[in-house]
Amino acid sequence: MSTNTLVLSAGSLGDSILALPALQQLQARSPVTLAGTSPYIQMGASLLGVEKVVPLEGLLQVIHADQALDKAFWDGFSDVYVFFKDRDPKLIERLQGLSHLKLHLSSETFAEFLKKERWAGEYWLNLIQDKTPSSSETSHSCRLHITPDILERGALLCDFLGVLNPLIIHPGSGNPAKNAPLGFFKKAAEKAAKESGKDVLVIWGDAELQQADEIMETFKGMEKVKVLPDLLMLRDLIAVLTQARGYLGNDSGVTHLASACGVKTFAVFNSTDAKVWGPQEAIILAAMQTLYSSKDQ
């Protein structure tokens, strides 16, 4: 009988990093196949530290369309863990119909868990742990498995960008309400470049596409400061982050990613609770009003 584990996990980049401790602890017990959304697929099994990664979307389409389930696929697992924030009744009904599977679901909704004001990653850790988990299964460490080829790729990309072990600044996020003003990050870049004499690299991504021109103009002409000229694929972004001497950003998926790469991470929290949503190994900066004045707006 199979002892392999299947994890179904949906979410954004930040969500995928928050799930890392639970995923990696499951992998330590038995081989894990992760059916995940785009961030999981882009990162891949080696970075996540699991056996295999497959697209979640195809599985959900079959389940919700009442199509026959692939017996060869589902028979390969003894346990299925559902890492969803919201209940999916149809999914649960179909999986409960597979008698050989042990289905693991959280006993409380994610919204109920958040009322406890505990770190969000514990929601998945609570699901995978027994009622009396061993001390070896309580780690909150969110770390990607950085391989030599990722480090080599990062060095090559930084050389192409003309920076060496830069301080990386990411002034955006998926929610503008979370963001410190660009003026705050400009001052931080100026101070870092002047006092250290080291390179600063300002990055941006899909969430900042509409703001990219403004970001480039804000940091234009600054000595030792360069702005990423174009979007990076997620694995390339990870590669560049591994070369950083530090990182500064808002509450965002990229900030979680930087911390997961082992970079000394400084995170600015404004509209969200750092105790709940902050990277566990980041340095959480004070509330925004203590970091900059209204003239930075």
What pLDDT sits at residue 294? 41
Q: Where is 82: in which H helix or E strand?
A: strand 79-83
pLDDT at 1: 60
Listed as ranges, residues in the chain with pLDDT below 50 are: 131-136, 287-291, 293-297
Please tell me the distance from the alpha carbon of residue 277 to that of residue 225, in angstroms, as a whole number. Answer: 29
Q: Are 20 and 142 in contact (CB under 8 A)?
A: yes
The upper half-sphere exposure of residue 275, i.e. CA atoms within 13 Å in the direction of its Cβ, equals 5
Per-residue DSSP letter, 285: E
Q: Looking at 127-199, which runs of residues are DSSP E strands? A: 167-170
- Candidates 144, 42, 29; CA nearest to 78 is 29
Q: What are the b/e assignments for 216-249, b being 16+ CB within 10 Å?
A: eebbeebebbbbbeeebebeebbbbbbbbbbbbb
Provide the residue ranges of all domains of the chain, joining segments of one domain with +: 5-137, 148-296
Domains 5-137 and 148-296 share a fold: yes
Q: What residue ranges in 3-134 does DSSP mark as E strands?
A: 5-9, 32-36, 52-55, 79-83, 102-104
Rg (CA), the chain: 21
Q: Which of the listed CATH numbers 3.50.50.60, 3.40.190.80, 3.40.50.2000, 3.40.50.720 matches domain 148-296?
A: 3.40.50.2000
Q: What is the CATH number of domain 5-137?
A: 3.40.50.2000
How many CB atoms lie under 10 A from the CB of residue 155? 16
**pTM to 2 decimal places:** 0.93
